Amino acid sequence: MPAGSPKKYAYVTLVTNPAYIAGALALIRSLKMTGTFADLVVMAKTGLENIEALEESADRVVKVDPLPLSEEFQQAHSSSAQQARDPFTKGIKPAFHSPLDNFCKLRLWTLDRYERIVFIDADALVIKNIDKLFGYPEFSAAPNLYSELADIHRLNSGVFVARPDLATFRQMLQKLDTPGVFWRRTDQTFLEAFFSDWHGLPYIYNTLQYVYFNLPELWHPTQIRVLHYQYEKPWQTDHPKRKQLQPLIDLWQQVADGGPMPEELPATTAPTR
């Protein structure tokens, strides 16, 4: 590629409120340590303040507005409505997590200066280079494995490969907000329905932190490429899973503080079944 020509590939994350800024900064640090060739892009909600550090460390910060969603849709996907209708039973989402904001991820389909985008949640760290994902088709994602193997047929939307395209974005908006609709796990459920023939990535491209204690047989410290702190966040001052996850929280903190990525992830001490 000639020097200075625009890049075709980008890692994109989303930050809609101040509580996710620290996550995005750690994610960007981790990506830089992998020596990636792609642009590092943050979609930041319009009006979000104190984004200087993001602007300094990312290649590009793109301002995004919430999607034009009906009042009915917004009410059905508020934190309290979601909790009343289909509560989380296996972990706790922090109070700063707004389910409605998750749908902003869909804005990445408008970033059509890029041929491929790998989206990564702001609560993840890239442990080893994953640039080969830019050669994967839309829509590729890893399974939602964190509790039991039976969940292998579901996808997790913390890491996925997309091909930005305005026509796709328009189709998504049409399908998203219809009378009476309820996407029980927000963007994740929607993307699973929209791309019903999604391509499966190996779980090492999006290893959920609960694998560490729930599925120790899948915890391969040398294989895991992306570690995703789903549910409780490593930057929360305290949370109920802290004791079980301490080595992973320490790892996140080390990267957030500007330290190196260890050669290998911590081993799990949980007994295999």
Q: Which residues contact 72 (CB under 8 A, 6 or more apart)?
A: 179, 180
- By CB under 6 A, the residues from 145 to 184 that bind ligand UDP are 158
Q: Which of 140, 168, 214, 230 binds ligand UDP (CB under 6 A)?
A: 230
User: Smallest gap, in angstroms, from Cβ of residue 70 to Mn ion?
Assistant: 26
Segment interacting with ligand UDP, rule: CB under 6 A, options 16-24, 29-37, 64-72, 193-201: 16-24
List alpha helices for the chain, DSSP H. Answer: 21-33, 52-57, 71-76, 79-85, 166-176, 186-194, 211-214, 242-256
Q: 12 or 204: whose CB is closer to ligand UDP? A: 12
Q: Does 123 bind ligand UDP (CB under 6 A)?
A: yes
CA nearest neighbour of 182 among 62, 259, 70, 63: 70
- Residue 126 interacts with ligand UDP (CB under 6 A): yes or no: no
Place of tokens 């972990």: 91
Out of 11, 12, 16, 210, which residue is the one contacting ligand UDP (CB under 6 A)?
Answer: 16
Q: Select the binding partner of residue 60 from ligand UDP, Mn ion, none (C-beta < 5 to 8 A, by kind).
A: none
From the list ligand UDP, Mn ion, none, partner contacted by residue 122 (C-beta under 5 to 8 A by kind) = ligand UDP
**30 touches which of Mn ion, ligand UDP, none (CB within 5 to 8 A by kind)?**
none
Laid out side by side, the sheet with 207-208 consists of 124-126, 226-228, 207-208
Eight-class DSSP state of 25: H
Total binding residues toward ligand UDP, as defined by CB under 6 A = 17
Applying CB under 5 A, the residues found at the interface with Mn ion are: 121, 123, 158, 230
Among 28, 51, 121, 164, binds ligand UDP (CB under 6 A): 121
Instruction: Note whether 102 binds ligand UDP by CB under 6 A.
Output: yes
Distance CA 140, CA 192 (A): 10
CA distance 227 to 252: 10
Residue 50 CB-half CA count within 13 A: 8
Rounded to 5 degrees, φ, ψ at 20 are -100, 0
13 binds ligand UDP (CB under 6 A): yes
Tell me the H-state helices in 7-120. Answer: 21-33, 52-57, 71-76, 79-85
Out of ligand UDP, Mn ion, none, what residue 160 binds, judged by CB under 5 to 8 A for its kind, is none
Q: Is 58 in the site for ligand UDP (CB under 6 A)?
A: no
